[in-house]
Amino acid sequence: MQILVLGSGAGGGFPQWNCNCDNCLRLRHGEIRATPRTQSSIAISADSTDWVLFNASPDIRLQLEANPQLRSEHGVRASSIRAIVLIDAQIDHTAGLLFLRECAQPLHIYCTEPVYQDLTSGFPILNMLEHYCGVVHHPIPVDGQTFTISDFKDLRFISHALKSKAPPYSPHRYDPHPGDNIGVMIEQVSTGKRLYYAPGLGEIEPHVLQAMLEADCILVDGTFWSEDEMAKVGSPKKAREIGHLPQSGPGGMIEVLSQLPKQTRKILIHINNTNPILDEDSPQRQTLTEAGIEVAYDGMEIIL
């Protein structure tokens, strides 16, 4: 199984266009050893030919140009992307669908029922696409059941609900539904290798920890280093309040990942521009390195 990290940043990317936090300011001035990041998305293939896209960020055009494996030269308008799986209905994971509107065939989109409702009501992007390429919606279960994608016989997918909030534009913003956000286990049938993907993760429920324990590689929420990180840029919101488990502190991601087998590859993705781990020379980055935890970057390739 081949995994391409198309984008590794949180909403807004790094640097964020209007942000003068320590990280963004130093990156623009060349005063930090760090790498710019687009908004989070990955692609997965079992044969290096046909690909499943996980999330369509607003940076999708740049990401596709930067990863020629996802392009096809068969036809005037062609793509190697056969299906799109949406983890949630957030703008940074769905707005890129608009840039795929020139597709010659309807987009095959796999998402949960709450995500589908959000994307046909509060943010009706799927309705808009009906005026261009069209959409074929495939529902995703939220109770740990397996689902398949027709063009990917050697891959199977297991999805489960995560505790989270629906987007601000969702009709049920203050009434969480199972499936507002999901984690997905992707298994290659022929090899048995497993990837667990959960870029938005606010709480480690028992089924989440079990999935992590069963995976050969995990790509999980690395948004914030600390619970009060956003206070430094003037926001009163805490990390867990907006659905992201911080890395540091009691019960944080570092503590959680320490429970996994030593051979499990542990990678953080969806890194916010304020997170000090973006500075490759920071003590926080050193802490992750010592704990055997990697930080995803745009263009990262993982082979399982």
Contact in structure between 1 and 215 (CB atoms under 8 Å): no
Q: Looking at the predicted structure, is the pLDDT value of residue 303 above 80? A: yes
Burial (CB count <10 Å: 0-12, 13-18, 19+), residue 211: buried
Distance separating alpha carbons of residues 205 and 46, to the nearest angstrom: 29
Taking a C-beta distance cutoff of 8 angstroms, is the pair 110, 85 a contact?
yes
For the chain, the distance separating the N- and C-terminal CA atoms, rounded to the nearest angstrom, is: 5
Are 219 and 193 in contact by the 8 Å Cβ rule? The answer is no
Average confidence (pLDDT) over 141-169? 93
What's this model's pTM, rounded to 2 decimal places?
0.96
pLDDT reading at 194 higher than 90: yes
d(CA 227, CA 238): 5
Q: Which residues contact 71 (CB under 8 A, 6 or more apart)?
A: 64, 78, 79, 80
Q: CA 295, 247, 166, 296: dihedral to nearest 10 degrees?
A: 0
> Residue 148 has which token pair?
């398949």
- For strand 51-54 and strand 135-139, is the pairing parallel, antiparallel, or unpaired? unpaired
> What domains sit in the chain, N to C, each tagged with a CATH number?
2-299 (3.60.15.10)
Determine contact, residues 25/212, Cβ cutoff 8 Å: no
Residue 243 corresponds to which tokens in the numbers above?
């659905």
CA distance 296 to 142: 26
Average confidence score pLDDT of the chain = 95
Residue 237: band (very low, low, confident or very high) from pLDDT cuts 50, 70, 90:
confident
pLDDT more than 90, % of the chain: 87
Residue 138 has pLDDT above 90, yes or no: yes
